[in-house]
Every structure is written in structure tokens, then in C-alpha cells.
Amino acid sequence: MKFRKFVDLASLYASGGAGGNGVCSFRREKSIPRGGPDGGDGGRGGSVILKADPNENSLIGIFYAPHQRAGHGEHGKGKQMYGQAGADRILPVPCGTVVRDKETGLILGEVLEAGAEMIVAHGGRGGLGNMHWKTSTNRAPREHTPGEPGEELTLRLELKLMADAGLVGFPNAGKSSLLTRLTSAHPKIASYPFTTLNPIVGTMIFEDYSRLTVADIPGLIDGSHSGIGLGDAFLRHIERCSLLIYVIDMAGSEDRHPARDYLALTKELQLYAEDLPDRPSLIVANKMDLPGADRLLSEFFEETGKKPIPVSALTGEGIDRLKTSLFKLWQQKNRPRRRKASVRDPV
């Protein structure tokens, strides 16, 4: 089975179509000796449009075809005939795509919801035919205008995954195994660090048929916010997650302690974006099936004051409790807030 390459950064050279020229033409019919001007307008040029498509999960299409041009408008014709508008170039992109000016880095816009569209390069306007210059004193105008060129922009597209919850943890903490237990996703699982090289999204379906998407973010290390390791290239995918799930390796090692791992993770998130650690979150104590995990779990509570949910992604122990807790947290996050009553409100 071949997997498509995951691409979350791509350059786009977008060029809108040029507008068609207006024409100079005069009506010539045997029975009408003074037909007058009848030159039509040129058609507008097509635009380059990004459209959010829920079936797209990567910018690979634009990555391998970065030069995109819309169709040109047709020239006007005699008998007051307008030129046909140029065809728009519609590019499907994943939901959550951010559009930046490549030179300045300025955010021009983003497409979030399925079906949302954004024009990134407008087509040029069509020129005017000589029929527009006819007056009582200018019966035979020859003025007409050419079509305008379309916009040409060099853009940088960034994908920030749209997921309800994000799994955050150090390499080899068991995030991929946990995602497999929680959802129907099947990421690569192995016993070495950095198994996951790109974000993977799975979907949880609850008894009431509500759905919650969970993203497995590649492992973070100290200094990830500044580009070390896999760097902040994947931290941006956490930005759109409304819930965070800290996955802590409770087995520990000679140079790693669960409590220090958790504190380091929250520090990295805060250095990348100050509001990230303040988002609703759960702490998952993974690998509780291994020796020494119970002792380290007690030490974790003593040092952090936090009570994680003990689970084993390998055996499935504690997964049902985790699902229930995640569902309740998600419900609280999405529960509509009641407006407080005011003294001016009618009784």
C-alpha cells in the first residue's frame, strides 16, 4: 500500500487571467447606412481560487504544481457582443490552510470550513468597446480600451490541521499506540523515537454518534519551539486543537522522569504560544503495565499536583475511562454558555 507524502508547506505562484480587449466596430447593414458604433467589451479574466475540501489532507497537489494560472478573457466583438469571461482556476486545499505573502510573511487569509473559498489572484477587468463613447456630438467614436492584466502573487501556504484534540508528548511516549486505541486510525507504531513523522488525524465516534477528531502530533523535544528536532514545523498543528492530551511515558528512564517531561512540554507550548497551556487538557499516564510505573505515578502527583489518567495503550487498560473523560471535557468545551440575566431583562 502506497501512502501519499504529507506536505504542510507549499509555495504558490498564482496568476489571474488577463481581461479581453474592447473592440472598435461599426454596424454595417445595407438598410442602415449609419449604423453607428457597436464594439463590445472584453470578458474579465479568471481568478485563482482556493477552496477548502474536507477530502484533502495535504498540500501535495500545489507542492508539485506551484504555478497556477487562470484563463484569459476573450476579446469583445462587433454587434455589441461581449467577450466570454476567463475560466477560474479553483484549487482544492485542506481545511485550515493559511495563506501568506511569501516576501513579507503577512497573513492574507485562511480557509477553515468545508466549501469556504478565497480568491488569491483576481482576474483583470475586460476592456471597453467603442459603443460606450457614442454621444450626440461624437457619432463615430474609435476609442476603445485594452483589458487589464490579472494579479500575479507569490504566496506561501501553511496547513494547520483542524482537530478537536491533539496528542502532545515526547518521542516514544506511545501517542501513536494511544491514537490506535482511541480511534480507527492506523499510524506507524515502532519501539524507536520519531516513528511519527507527520501529523495523523483519527476520529472518535461516541454512543450518541457525535464525532471528535484527535491528532497525533510528532514528538516534541526540548527546544522544539525554536526549531530543534522536528521543531516548530509541527507545533503549529496544535494551534487549532481546542483540547490537549498530554501523553506521559510513566515508565521513565535513567535520564527521563515523567514529572520533568510534563513540565518541559508545558514550557515548550508556552514558549511557542502563551495561550496553549491554558487550554482544556487531560494528562494521560501511559505504559502503566511496565514495572516501576506506579511509583513514578505517585512521584508525578507529588511534584506537579496533577492527577493523570493511568492507561496502557498496549493492553487497553484504562482506555474506556480515558474516552469517558475526554467526552465529558469535549462536551463542556462545546456546551453553549447561558447569558447572565440582567436587571433590564423582562421577567
Could you report the per-residue pLDDT of 134-177, keeping only the tens digit for each? Answer: 998 898 899 999 999 999 999 999 988 778 888 888 888 888 88
Tell whether 77 is covered by a domain: yes
pLDDT at 173: 83
Q: Which residue has the higher pLDDT, 228 or 27?
A: 27
CB atoms within 10 A of CB 24: 19
The answer to whether 197 and 334 have CB atoms below 8 angstroms apart is no
Residues 204 and 314 in one domain: yes
Residues 175 and 107 in one domain: no
Mean pLDDT along residues 217-224: 56
Which of 242, 89, 104 minimizes the C-alpha distance to 161? 242
CA angle 58, 60, 64 (to 5 degrees): 165
pLDDT tier for residue 82 given thresholds of 50, 70 and 90: very high
pLDDT tier for residue 202 given thresholds of 50, 70 and 90: confident
pLDDT at 4: 52
CA-to-CA distance for 31 and 117, rounded, in angstroms? 51
CB atoms within 10 A of CB 40: 26
Whether the model pTM is above 0.85: no
Q: Amino acid identity, residue 65?
A: A
Residues 115 and 224 in one domain: no
Average pLDDT, the chain: 84
pLDDT digits (tens, 9 = 90+) for 276-318: 888 899 999 999 999 889 999 999 999 999 999 999 988 999 9
Tell whether 239 is covered by a domain: yes
Adjacent-strand bridge partners of 109: 99
Residues 212 and 313 in one domain: yes
Tell whether 26 is covered by a domain: yes
Q: Which of 129, 159, 189 is the last residue of a domain?
A: 159
Residues 173 and 64 in one domain: no
pLDDT tier for residue 207 given thresholds of 50, 70 and 90: confident
Beta strands in 117-198 (DSSP E): 117-121, 152-159, 165-168
pLDDT at 309: 94
Residues 47 and 142 in one domain: yes
Residues 38 and 131 in one domain: yes
pLDDT digits (tens, 9 = 90+) for 337-347: 444 444 444 43
Residues 208 and 136 in one domain: no
Q: Which three cell numbers stand for residue 28?
A: 454595417
Residues 152 and 182 in one domain: no
Q: Which of 111, 126, 159 is the last residue of a domain?
A: 159
Residue 345 DSSP SS3: coil
Tell whether 104 is covered by a domain: yes
What's the N-to-C CA distance of the chain in angstroms? 65
Residue 92 DSSP SS3: strand
Residues 16 and 126 in one domain: yes
Mean pLDDT along residues 189-195: 44
Tell whether 97 is covered by a domain: yes
Q: Report the CATH number at residue 199.
A: 3.40.50.300
Angle of helix 293-304 relative to helix 258-272, nearest 10 degrees, comes to 50
| Total domains present in the chain | 2
pLDDT at 5: 62
Mean pLDDT along residues 184-208: 63
Compute φ and ψ for 25, nearest 5 degrees: -150, 150
Residues 204 and 330 in one domain: yes
Q: Mean pLDDT check: name the lowest of 35-49, 94-108, 186-200.
A: 186-200
Q: Which residue has the higher pLDDT, 176 or 85?
A: 85
290: containing domain: 165-334
